[in-house]
Amino acid sequence: MEVVTTIAEARSRRQLDREEGRSVAFVPTMGALHAGHLALVRRARELGRCVWVSIFVNPTQFGPSEDFERYPRDLAGDSALLRSERVDVVFAPPVTELYPRPPVVRVAFPGLDDVLCGAQRAGHFAGVGLVVAKLFNIVQPDVAVFGQKDAQQALLIQRLTADLDFPVAVEVVPTVREADGLALSSRNAYLSADERRASTALYRALHRGREAVEAGERDPARIEAVMADEIASEPLLRLEYARCVGADDLASPPDATRGPLLLAVAARAGTTRLIDNLPVRRPGP
Amino acid sequence: MEVVTTIAEARSRRQLDREEGRSVAFVPTMGALHAGHLALVRRARELGRCVWVSIFVNPTQFGPSEDFERYPRDLAGDSALLRSERVDVVFAPPVTELYPRPPVVRVAFPGLDDVLCGAQRAGHFAGVGLVVAKLFNIVQPDVAVFGQKDAQQALLIQRLTADLDFPVAVEVVPTVREADGLALSSRNAYLSADERRASTALYRALHRGREAVEAGERDPARIEAVMADEIASEPLLRLEYARCVGADDLASPPDATRGPLLLAVAARAGTTRLIDNLPVRRPGP
């Protein structure tokens, strides 16, 4: 496994892969790797001859009051995990390598980046779009693998790739969960034992939402109320949102029995922000 | 010369160039080619083994009240010119090929895209940024060549390329002028004989501005007044702006005797919008 930390090294390694005809499957991460990331890496292994993983805690996607400084970092542990997964290249640049000066360009997704997590985290998806564009241009993968856990991010990256004609296929891998349903997240490490127990309410809420959809509920507001109630029943959680939206446009559907839906929830346990979602495709009539 | 009209054809031709080790120098245009474009093509010929030219009148960079519909189009004439320049590939897609559906992603340049031409043409540079990102991802050139005539565009593309780490070198070629100083532009074709005569005031204004800088004038507002007066002396022109700004940030400099400057003017002759500029580097002390 090769660890590269500069853009120049990454480009020259990529050039070598190209000259020798090796396709590249790429998994961008912020490190603090868990089994959810490893599911992405394993999918990448199926998709490309070479697997590249980036580890970069991207400052431009954190708000000024968010957890950029305390976000967990463990390059040694991450590298050991990736080596055991037979990853070929790890790209782990310092912040100054990707941002030698403050970027001027702003990548926005009007209508898609100001709902759900974007409504709570102003500028977050602009930062995600910027860094993904940079990483795509540096790594130049044939395919890039993202997790369904960050459903809004995955959708925006699919639009970024399509709208800007990046020559990259985008693959989205299902969320990996603990036995009790909690979606894996690097931020779960912040949870106290009590908060950890409380956090299972997010997945229960999504299940209750899905039951309502499957029972034929047409009104997205009622589906949202069912999910919000489940999270409100857990005193250690503070609800941020519980939404039932179209899977492609993230807007409230006129009729929840139509088209693919995304059920999405966010809540805080203490200062830790947790998100989860469930894509729901109604069985046909 | 190969003319390709689809993204898939362009990608497969590019792949061939890559496999056979040919570097690509790229000139994006909106067609209606003149000697200014040909200067870009000739520079591209010096820079790359293969020269690609795109011809695409990009709808997303025109405002609703602008001249998208009447913008001059002459693919046959353009192709003949490019063939005589020994261009290798012309990429001339229809609008639906680059925009199969309305794009969601918006590329903005806060602080740089809302001054000069951007102040008059809301959304113009967002459209330019979008289409250049698309073309870079489709053509994947080693170097792309732009004209100094569109100084603000050239600066924004340099920032786009740097901020998003496009693996593309950006080359800027000096403005080509008529014998009387008028900068070549496809829009000059709109001018009546009287307007054509009047339009030379733009270049005279820039020259008077440069004389003021060279005479040691420190106050950008006075340099701007000198240029505005020259354009105002021509009754067929309606001034849009006459600015003396920093060449790198497009902001008013505190002292016009410092750092590289850009003198930039825009005016209308009837309904035709004309722009011109002159980079000025003060001789050292």
B5-37 pLDDT, tens digit per residue, is 999 999 999 999 999 999 999 999 999 999 999
Are residues A92 and A27 in contact, defined by beta-carbon separation less than 8 angstroms? no
Q: How far is A166 from chain B (nearest CA, A)?
A: 5
ipTM: 0.96
Task: Provide the annotated active-site residues of B.
Answer: 37
CA separation for the pair B23, B10 (Å, rounded): 15
Number of Cα atoms under 13 Å in the Cβ half of residue A78: 23
Residues in A touching B105 (Cβ below 8 Å): 107-109, 129, 159-160, 163-164
- Name all domains of chain B by residue range, CATH numbers in brackets: 2-173 (3.40.50.620), 186-275 (3.30.1300.10)
- Cα separation values, B283 from A113, B215, B251, B262, Å: 48, 11, 21, 14
pLDDT tens for residues A240-268?
Answer: 999 999 999 999 999 988 879 999 999 99
Question: Which residues lie below 8 Å from residue B120, measured CB to CB, with a gap of 6+?
Answer: B240, B241, B266, B273
Exposed, middle or buried: residue B200 (CB in 10 Å: 0-12, 13-18, 19+)? middle
Structure tokens at B242: 């006459």
Q: What is the CA angle B16-B18-B24, rounded to 5?
A: 105
Are residues B53 and B91 in contact, defined by beta-carbon separation less than 8 angstroms? yes
Q: Do B164 and A130 touch (CB under 8 A)?
A: yes
Q: Which residue of B has its CA nearest to A7?
A: B165
Are residues B212 and B223 in contact, defined by beta-carbon separation less than 8 angstroms? yes
On the question of pLDDT at A283 being above 70, the answer is no
Residues in A touching B111 (Cβ below 8 Å): 104
pLDDT mean over B33-61: 98
B104 close to A (CB below 8 A): yes
On the question of pLDDT at A136 being above 60, the answer is yes
CA separation for the pair B220, B275 (Å, rounded): 19
- Among B54, B164, B166, the residue to mutate for chain A (most A Cβ within 10 A): B164
Question: Which residues lie below 8 Å from residue B203, measured CB to CB, with a gap of 6+?
Answer: B177, B180, B181, B182, B183, B276
Q: Do B105 and A104 touch (CB under 8 A)?
A: no
Question: Which residues lie below 8 Å from residue A204, measured CB to CB, with a gap of 6+?
Answer: A181, A230
CA separation for the pair B145, A130 (Å, rounded): 24
On the question of pLDDT at A67 being above 70, the answer is yes
Task: Provide the annotated active-site residues of A.
Answer: 37
On the question of pLDDT at A285 being above 80, the answer is no
